């Protein structure tokens, strides 16, 4: 019998596995964390202010992210130093990072994020299903919430310019899917009733390393 390409898409997979309340809770939390970081950095010398703001964004946004995951049943890992905070819902491990807007390559600086992204080999066939045979629904995948900042403290320093949900390829060299959360949230209204399927195995928690001045990690 000839192979029939799957009709599933990556955004379908996200909508089925990541509840709306998790997405909206994370969006609010990251905005709050960024605002707290900006307030905490006031009064610091301009010579190192970009680095201070980047570091404070990392810590405040990590705390806010972890609490949002916990509040919405997404099994957050504990906060421990510079370790990357992850959550789990459906087949997805959820993590986050910050970038100056347009510098998506910064997401590759973390060895842990690259390690997490290896799981996405299983969903790459959803991009070009006609080139693959025998696609099976994945048991593990990773998605990142990416807060994009202006990169200029004179332009909207207190909040992200946008927050996106993004899925990298297995080598984190490109993006299989990325979309602003405000646009992604509308996809839930198009989802058939009862489509959510959150039965999943768990992915081992991982750790991150030190942050650069934008709080992107290493």
What residue ranges do the domains of the chain occupy? Answer: 10-190
Confidence at residue 192, expressed as pLDDT on a 0 to 100 scale: 66
Looking at residue 123, the DSSP 8-state letter turns out to be: G
d(CA 84, CA 144): 11
d(CA 206, CA 71): 21
SS3 43: coil
The pair of structure tokens assigned to 152 is 């200029």
Looking at residue 216, the DSSP 8-state letter turns out to be: -
Confidence at residue 202, expressed as pLDDT on a 0 to 100 scale: 42
Confidence at residue 132, expressed as pLDDT on a 0 to 100 scale: 55
Kindly report the number of other CB atoms within 10 A of residue 3's CB atom. 11
Confidence at residue 200, expressed as pLDDT on a 0 to 100 scale: 42
pTM for the structure as a whole:
0.84
Confidence at residue 159, expressed as pLDDT on a 0 to 100 scale: 96
Confidence at residue 207, expressed as pLDDT on a 0 to 100 scale: 36
SS3 59: helix
Confidence at residue 49, expressed as pLDDT on a 0 to 100 scale: 92
Strands (E), the chain: 87-89, 92-100, 141-149, 162-168, 175-180
Rounded mean pLDDT for each run of 10 residues along the chain, 218 residues in total: 60 96 98 97 90 95 98 96 94 96 83 93 80 75 97 92 96 94 95 53 41 46
CB 202 within 8 A of CB 88: yes
Instruction: Please report, rounded to a whole number, the percentage of residues in the chain having pLDDT higher than 70.
Output: 82
CB 123 within 8 A of CB 167: yes
Confidence at residue 6, expressed as pLDDT on a 0 to 100 scale: 54
Kindly report the number of other CB atoms within 10 A of residue 165's CB atom. 24
Confidence at residue 137, expressed as pLDDT on a 0 to 100 scale: 84
């Amino acid at each position: 019998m000839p192979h029939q390409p799957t009709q599933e898409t990556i955004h379908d997979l996200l909508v089925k596995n990541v509840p709306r309340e998790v997405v909206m809770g994370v969006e609010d939390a990251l905005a709050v964390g960024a605002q707290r970081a900006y307030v905490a950095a006031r009064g610091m010398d301009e010579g190192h202010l970009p680095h201070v703001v980047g570091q404070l964004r990392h810590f405040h946004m990590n705390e806010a992210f972890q609490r949002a995951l916990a509040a919405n049943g997404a099994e957050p890992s504990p906060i421990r130093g510079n370790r990357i905070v992850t959550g789990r819902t459906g087949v997805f491990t959820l993590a986050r990072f910050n970038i100056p807007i347009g510098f998506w390559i910064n997401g590759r600086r973390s060895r842990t994020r690259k390690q997490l992204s290896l799981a996405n080999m299983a969903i790459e066939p959803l991009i070009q299903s006609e080139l693959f045979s025998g696609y099976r629904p994945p048991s593990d995948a990773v998605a990142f919430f990416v807060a994009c900042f202006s990169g200029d403290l004179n332009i909207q320093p207190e909040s992200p310019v946008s927050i996106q949900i993004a899925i990298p390829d297995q080598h984190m060299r490109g993006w299989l899917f990325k979309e602003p959360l405000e646009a992604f949230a509308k996809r839930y209204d198009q989802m058939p009733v009862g489509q959510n399927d959150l039965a999943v195995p768990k992915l081992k928690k991982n750790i991150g390393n030190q942050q650069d001045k934008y709080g992107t990690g290493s």
